[in-house]
A and B are shown apart, each in its own frame.
Chain A
Amino acid sequence: MRHGISEQKWVEFLDGALRADEAAEIRAHLRDCPGCRQLASELSRWRELLAEEGTRLRAALGEPEADLDAMLRRCLAQIRRSGAPERADARWTLTEALAVLRLLMEPICGPGTVRAVVDRAVARSAATGRVLTWSDWGRFVGNLSEATSAVCGSAVGRLVERAGLSLAPEALT
Chain B
Amino acid sequence: MPGRQVAASAATARARDEQEAVERFVRQPGEESYRELFHVLAPRLICYFRARGCGLELAEDLLQEVMLTVYRRSRMLRHAELFRPWLYKIVRNVLLQHLRRLRREVATVDLEAAAHEPSRPEADPLAGSRFRQWMAALAPDEREIMTLRYVDELEYHEIADIMGIPAGTVQWKVFNAKRKLAQRFRNGQG
Contacts and interface: CB of A to CB of B under 8 A. Distances in A.
Interface stretch (B60-68, B101-109, B110-118): B60-68
A45 B182 CA distance: 9
A151 B132 CA distance: 48
Contacts, number: 127
Given A57-B129, A57-B151, A75-B38, A46 B175 contact: no
Nearest to B175: A11
Given A11-B172, A171-B77, A75 B71 contact: yes
Interface stretch (A80-88, A92-100, A102-110): A80-88
Interface in A52-84: 53-55, 57-58, 60-66, 68, 71-72, 74-76, 78-79, 82
Nearest to B89: A173
A85 B71 contact: yes
A14 interface: yes
Contacts of A78: 68
B51 A57 contact: yes
B131 A64 contact: no
Given A54-B151, A68-B38, A68-B42, A46 B71 contact: no
B60 A7 contact: no
Q: How large is the interface on B (under 10, 10 to 19, 20 to 34, 35 or more residues)?
A: 35 or more
Given A50-B146, A79-B68, A8 B178 contact: no
A49 interface: yes
Interface of B: 7, 11, 29, 31, 34-35, 38-39, 42-44, 46-47, 50-51, 56-57, 60, 63-64, 67-68, 71-78, 82, 125-126, 129-131, 134, 146, 149-151, 153, 168, 171-172, 174-175, 178-179, 181-182, 186, 190
29 contacts: A7-B175, A11-B175, A42-B186, A43-B178, A45-B190, A46-B178, A50-B150, A54-B131, A54-B150, A54-B151, A55-B11, A58-B153, A61-B46, A61-B47, A62-B50, A64-B46, A64-B56, A65-B56, A65-B57, A66-B60, A71-B64, A74-B64, A75-B67, A76-B35, A79-B71, A82-B72, A85-B71, A85-B72, A86-B76
Interface of A: 7-8, 10-12, 14-15, 39, 42-43, 45-47, 49-51, 53-55, 57-58, 60-66, 68, 71-72, 74-76, 78-79, 82, 85-88, 169-171
